[in-house]
Structure formats: C-alpha cells, structure tokens
Amino acid sequence: MTALNESQIKEVVLRALGNVAPEVDLESIDPSKDLRDQIDIDSVDFLNFVLGLHKELAVDIPDSDVAKITTLNGCVGYLMARVKCA
Amino acid sequence: MGEFRMPSLGADMESGVLVDWKVRPGDTVKRGDVVALVETEKGVIEVEIFESGVVESLVVQPGQKVPVGAALATIRTDGQPAETRPSPGAAVTEQKTEAPLVSAPVTAPPPPKSLRPRVSPLARKRAEELGVDITTVTGTGEDGSITALDIERAAEQAKPSATTVAPATTKGLDLNAMRRVIATAMARSKREIPHYYLSSTIDMRCALDWLAAENAKRPVTKRLLYSALLIRAVALAIREVPEVNGFCIDGTFKPGDGIHVGVAISLRQGGLINPAIHDVDKKTLDEVMENMLDLVNRARAGHLRSSEISDGTITVTNLGDQGVESVFGVIYPPQVALVGFGKIVERPWAAGGMLGVRPTIAASLAADHRVSDGHRGGRFLIAVNRLLQEPEKL
C-alpha cells in the first residue's frame, strides 16, 4: 500500500463513516467527541465501520482496541500508528 | 398450471405495486428463486416463488398495483397443482381482500420468446430517475430494446397511464406509509392480544468473557457481536417452551413451522422492520452472526426478501445500543411473543455468597396470554439465562 498521510487517513475514516451513516453531515462531527454520541449508530453499524476501515487500509482492529477509535481524532491517531504513513 | 400470486408481506398488507420482473416467460424457476420486486409500505421487497416450474405468462406488468392474493404470473408445473404457501399474514388479510382472479387461458398458446421488452441497465436507471413506466415505452434499439434515449423521450412526452398508480421505481421508503403500517399493526396488537410481561436480569460475565476470548482469536471479518448470542439463546430456549413460537390466528395457536427469529431493525430514515433469520436453532453461531449482519445491511439498503418479511415466528428486539435498560415490547401480530433486551449494565451482583460487580442485561418477554401463561413464560426466560451461562455451547 502507498504511504498515507494524516489527511488521507482522515478521509478514509470519514468515508467509512459516511458509508455506515449516509445521512450524517461529516463536516459537523466534533473530532474530539465520541462518535456514538454524535451519530446514531448501533453495534452493527460500528462493526461495519471497523470492517470498512479493514477493507480500505487492511488493518485488523482487535476488539480490545475499539475504545481507541471511538473519536475521530482517536481513530485517525490509532490508524496512523498502525498503517504505513507518509 | 399454478399461479404466482401477490404475497402477503405482513398482517396488514392489502396490496403491493409490482416494480419489476426478474423472470421472463419461458424461464425455469425453482422454489426460493427471486422472481419479482414488489413495493410495499415496508420498501421494495424481493419476492420469492414457492413452487418450481416454467413461467408461462406474466399477468401483471411493472407499475401495476394489485391486491394480496391476485395472480401475478402463471407457472407451468408439469401437471402439479399450484402450491399455495400458507402465510400467517395472508390468513388474516385474505379474508378481507377478495383478489380478482385472473384465469389462465384454457388452451395456452405457445409462449412468445419474451413479452417483456429488453431494457438496458442504463435505461432502467434513467427510468427510475425520471419516473418513467418502462412498459409504456417503445424501444428503438436493437430488436426493439429500450434505450436510455427512449426513456428520456418518453419522459418528455409522458402522460400518466390510467392503470399505473406508481412508477416502476425502487424509490425510497414512504415513511408516512410505514408509520401507518406500524400504527395499524401495533394498534391491532394492543387491541387483540392480551399481553403479559416478564423480566429477568441475566449475568453476562460468562458470555462476554467467552466472546472477548473468541473475538481475540478471530479476524475482524469473523467477529461476533453479543446480539448473535442472544438470538441463538432465544432460539434454543424456544425448543424448551415452544408455545412462544408461532401465531395466534382466530384465537387458535398455530406453532411455527421452524424457529425463524424476527430481528427488529430500526431504519436509518426512521421506521422499523423485523425480518427473520430462518431456522436459527439449526444454525451455528457464526451462521447466525453472518445472517444477522447481512439482514441488517440489506434491511437498511432496502433489499429484503419476501420470506424474510413474512416468516418470522417470534421477534427479538435489542435496544441496548440506544441506552435503554429494559424493553417491554408490543407483540407483532399474529406472532405470540416478543423478547426484548436492554443495554449491558454493570451491577452489584451476589453469587456464591460473595458480592461482586457483573455485566448484566435485562431480558423481557411480552407474550400472548391466549397461548401461554406466566409460568411457561418464566421457564422460557430461565432457559435463556441458563443458555447464556454456557456461551461455548451456543
């Protein structure tokens, strides 16, 4: 995979979120707040979000790390550390 | 000769709009094949056929609205009589809806190669976008096929057809219509079904510990959610208390023909639908998880199948993700029970003479008192609890 920078990873995260919750205005997401408090997503949606990240970035996010990706900032930071970054 | 009829996809469905055919005259079909798309208040449903044979003729054209029970197509079944699949919803609806019979010709002429014009995918997409009824368009493409240009021309000159009540489109849900359907079903439930309610708090430590250990060994694509454990536990508990699984029709209990667990799914646009996972008791936990994920995704994308809509024999609703601690549901008629789960909450828990903190879940049962009583309902919840203490056996 080509190296990705932070903004590209953020783009991937937002795209995965958009696929799960197409009605959400992604611009309005507060990056420091829990996504589940801002978007009406259930456990199936969250799994689909994790599967979406896996599909795009080939990252296997273990269940035990889910708490680290519950905010947009946390998710981007976590993925920066896990994928090959520019 | 058999007839493929407009199915009842719920107790309160009276009619549906044929959106599109997936077969042509002369096609061979087998039981379970998706043969048509039908639009109902619950969205566009892929309708399966329940007999095998050869499609003789398509009686109804895309865009037409017809009542439940009306013939949509005739099927040649090699001398076998038409098989009418019993549907609990249909049993209720058909009494009040006299379907106009469309009789098959006594001497059927050889079927033409195709009664349905060929339509390119692009043309079909344009027709959907522009609300054009494909059946009214004359094709100018090769062999008379309909092109996107034909659709655009037709859109400019369009005059609504008298027999067309809705365009053949897979347009989004009509939420007002869905709300009316939910209102009708729930009002009927509260009016006709003498509900009783039971609740039990279940220690989920074993189940969640097992799940965490199991998921740690699995790739993300095979991950399990605890809801799959709940659905399996409900299905296996039904084997012990079968009177919560089935239908009450005209005051008589008709046991389900299998354990088909309806899963209440909230749609993103609003509204609710409860398609079924078939034969949950016979499936592995992985299969149930896979089916559940697929069902939720297809329900939200509007790609459910008719059997999933009409076959549920009990419903499970899990409102835990919404932060609800307990749920006392309204039974979906003519079913006789609904099982509700709230969110997992840590509580002080006394066990073995020790006080500790455990993750717990409130399980509730709303059941039909015409069919079961609190004693048996209690046995059911006890069984659900016991099964969740041995998650490795689920």
Domains of chain B, CATH where assigned: 2-116 (2.40.50.100), 176-393 (3.30.559.10)
B293–A47 CB contact, under 8 Å = yes
Of B212, B221, B296, the CB nearest to A63: B212
Alpha helices (runs of H) in chain A, residue ranges in sequence order: 6-20, 35-38, 43-57, 72-82
- Specify the higher pLDDT residue, B130 or A40: A40
A60 vs B219, B293, B322: nearest CB: B219
| Residues from chain B contacting residue A23 (CB–CB below 8 Å) | 268-269
Annotated domain spans of chain A: 6-82
From chain B, the residues in CB contact with A44 under 8 A are 225, 227, 292-293, 296-297
Q: Collect all residues of chain B within an 8 Å Cβ-Cβ radius of residue A43.
A: 225-227, 321
B101 has pLDDT over 50: no
Q: Which residue of B has its CA nearest to A59?
A: B220
pLDDT at residue B173 above 60? yes
Instruction: Determine phi and psi for B290, rounding to 5 degrees.
Output: -60, -45
Average pLDDT over residues B326-331: 94
Name the token pair of A1: 């995979």
Interacting residues of B351 by C-beta distance below 8 A, sequence separation 6+ = B203, B358
Quickly tell me which residue has 């795209």 as its tokens: A15
Percent of chain B with pLDDT over 90: 49
Q: Using CB atoms, which residue from A44, A62, A64 is nearest to B293?
A: A44
Asked if pLDDT for residue B290 goes beyond 90, the answer is yes
Mean pLDDT of chain B: 83
pLDDT at B14: 80
Locate the chain B residue with the closest alpha carbon to A43.
B321
Interface A–B counts its CB contacts (< 8 A) at: 41
- pLDDT tens column, B12-37: 678 888 989 999 999 999 988 999 98
pLDDT band (50, 70, 90) for residue B11: low
pLDDT band at B104 (very low <50, low <70, confident <90, very high): very low
B245 band by pLDDT with thresholds 50, 70 and 90: very high
Q: What is the pLDDT of residues B369-394, one digit of tens each?
A: 999 999 999 999 999 999 999 999 99
pLDDT of B142 strictly over 70 = no
- Distance CA(B114)–CA(B65), nearest Å, equals 22
Contact status of B321 with chain A (Cβ, < 8 Å): yes
- CATH code of the region A6-82: 1.10.1200.10
- Predicted confidence pLDDT, tens digits, chain A (86 residues): 567 888 899 999 999 999 998 888 888 899 999 998 888 888 999 999 999 999 999 998 998 898 899 999 999 999 998 886 65
pTM above 0.95, yes or no: no
Q: pLDDT band at B320, cuts 50/70/90?
A: confident
* Model confidence band, residue B109 (pLDDT cutoffs 50, 70, 90): very low
State the DSSP code for B267.
-
User: In sequence order, which residues have a C-beta less than 8 Å from that of residue B236 and are 6 or more positions away?
Assistant: B281, B383, B387, B394
Confidence at residue B131, expressed as pLDDT on a 0 to 100 scale: 72
